[in-house]
Amino acid sequence: MLNTFQKEPAFLVLSDGTLIEGKAFGFRGTVFGELVFNTGITGYEEVLTDPSYFGQLITFTYPELGNTGVNFEDQESDSPCVKGVIARRFSAKGCNWRSKKTFENWLKDEQVVGIYDVDTRALVRLIRSSGTMNAAISSDGKNSPSILLEKISKQPSMSGLDLTGEVTTKKTYKWSLSTAVEFDKRLRKHQKDPFKVVAIDFGIKRSILNRLASHGCEVQVLPATANFSDVMKFAPEGVFLSNGPGDPSAVKKGISLAQKLIKEKDLPMFGICLGHQILGLALGCKTFKLPYGHRGLNHPCGKDGRIEITSQNHGFALEASSVDPTIIDITHLNLNDGTVAGIAMCNRPVFGIQYHPEASPGPHDADHHFARFIELMLERRLNVV
């Protein structure tokens, strides 16, 4: 049953002055954030709890949300990380055997403001032509559109923001839960002698930790503020740099850590999304803000005839012209726009990819990058022995 009976008004105001009227759902309030869009057909629960979306307002291009309700197994963090949700329409009832709560009740409980009955196709076309911008959703009747526009002008730009401190763990913890899927039967050979991995949490997703464990890793998760000695006291066989929100060039401590690890240790290192960008910055590359980012489940990436369909969520990318070919090999390109999607050091066991290989949500094409990380650690272990 579609939620067509609610009549409470809500407003979406963009920084360029665009006013869109809709109807309220979820929590009633007013929120500000960067307006972005996601093209995935499935996985709204994973998307909304992905820490990489911290502080943003998400427009879903798929026309209906909430059909399968909400369960608590698919969440990528304890609660939604977004500030607001924009939908064409939503289902008032979630129909799925795993569902524990309706989509709207979940948003209400988690205080996420929503607006529906919006022409999301037209909104996405606007973002694609004008670029991402700050915006506001208001459903509590306390602010007029003109007041909202004035408040939007005072909101900070995403450029220059280090948001990792808002989403990182506050203390170190150990992760050993794996993904329970059929195709993991082939991965059991390292379970009796797991690889010691330190994961730097810039906004890590639970499913990424699950995949590391499934591939035979015993993971110690450290805060984004961790320094070199914090990492080395665990005697890791490999270091993982996670996804996360904000401008990568502003994550100074993470860049400094990566530089020191690369300089002083010959450890395998694997970075994804924000972690991939931090690796690039540590190696002298530059980053830039994409016009409207890459957020969806069907981005083709590859090079030299090898292609994988990937899940992505990021607003910044490495400048290809800043990559030193004597140090770094560009291993993957985003085949939609030609931006850098993968790098590897030429003579060191260090690599990164711009996308989310754990496929939550999304296709499993990129899961082999975890195996690559394992192979590098195995090679190092054999050489050390």
> 34-50: per-residue pLDDT in tens?
999 999 999 999 999 99
Residue-level pLDDT at 186: 59
- Rounded average pLDDT over 175-185: 69
Q: Where in the chain is the domain with CATH 3.40.50.880?
A: 164-384
**pLDDT interval class at 183 (50, 70, 90):** low
Percentage of the chain exceeding pLDDT 90: 89
Question: Residues 276, 294, 314, 356: which is the catalytic one?
Answer: 356
Distance CA 285, CA 354 (A): 14
Residue-level pLDDT at 192: 72
Return the amino acid letter for 267. Answer: L
- Rounded average pLDDT over 185-198: 73
- Rounded average pLDDT over 258-268: 96
Per-residue DSSP letters for 329-346? EEEEEETTT--EEEEEES
Token output for 111: 């205080």
Q: Is 308 a catalytic residue?
A: no
Question: 171-201: buried (b, 16+ CB within 10 Å) or exposed (e) per residue?
Answer: eeeebeebbeeeeeeebeeeeeebbebbbbb
Question: Residues 45, 104, 237, 358: which is the catalytic one?
Answer: 358
Residue-level pLDDT at 81: 96
pLDDT digits (tens, 9 = 90+) for 244-254: 999 999 999 99
Q: Where in the chain is the domain with CATH 3.50.30.20?
A: 9-152
- Rounded average pLDDT over 212-224: 95
CA torsion through residues 16, 17, 21, 22, sign:
positive
Look at residue 189 and tell me whether its pLDDT is greater than 70. Answer: no
Residue-level pLDDT at 182: 55
Domain 9-152: which CATH class? alpha beta
Look at residue 336 and tell me whether its pLDDT is greater than 60. Answer: yes
Distance CA 2, CA 131 (A): 31
- Rounded average pLDDT over 289-295: 97
Please name the residues in contact with 2: beta carbons below 8 A apart, sequence gap of 6 or more.
Answer: 64, 89, 90, 91, 92
- Residue 332: left (phi > 0), alpha (psi -120 to 50), or beta? beta
Interhelix angle for 252-264 vs 274-282, to 10°? 60
pLDDT digits (tens, 9 = 90+) for 59-78: 999 999 999 999 999 999 99
Domain covering 164-384 assigned CATH 3.40.50.720 in the classification: no
Q: What pTM value is reported for the model?
A: 0.94
Q: Is 358 a catalytic residue?
A: yes
CA torsion 241→246→49→219, rounded to 10°?
10
Look at residue 161 and tell me whether its pLDDT is greater than 50. Answer: yes
Strands 238-241 and 287-303 turn out to be: unpaired
What is the rounded average pLDDT for all residues in the chain? Answer: 94
Residue-level pLDDT at 92: 87
- Rounded average pLDDT over 155-159: 95
**pLDDT interval class at 184 (50, 70, 90):** low
Question: Residues 217, 273, 285, 301: which is the catalytic one?
Answer: 273
Residue-level pLDDT at 4: 46
Q: Is 301 a catalytic residue?
A: no
Q: Residue written as tokens 């093209």?
A: 39
Residue-level pLDDT at 179: 74
**pLDDT interval class at 5 (50, 70, 90):** very low
Distance CA 249, CA 266 (A): 24
pLDDT digits (tens, 9 = 90+) for 340-377: 999 999 999 999 999 999 989 999 999 999 999 999 99
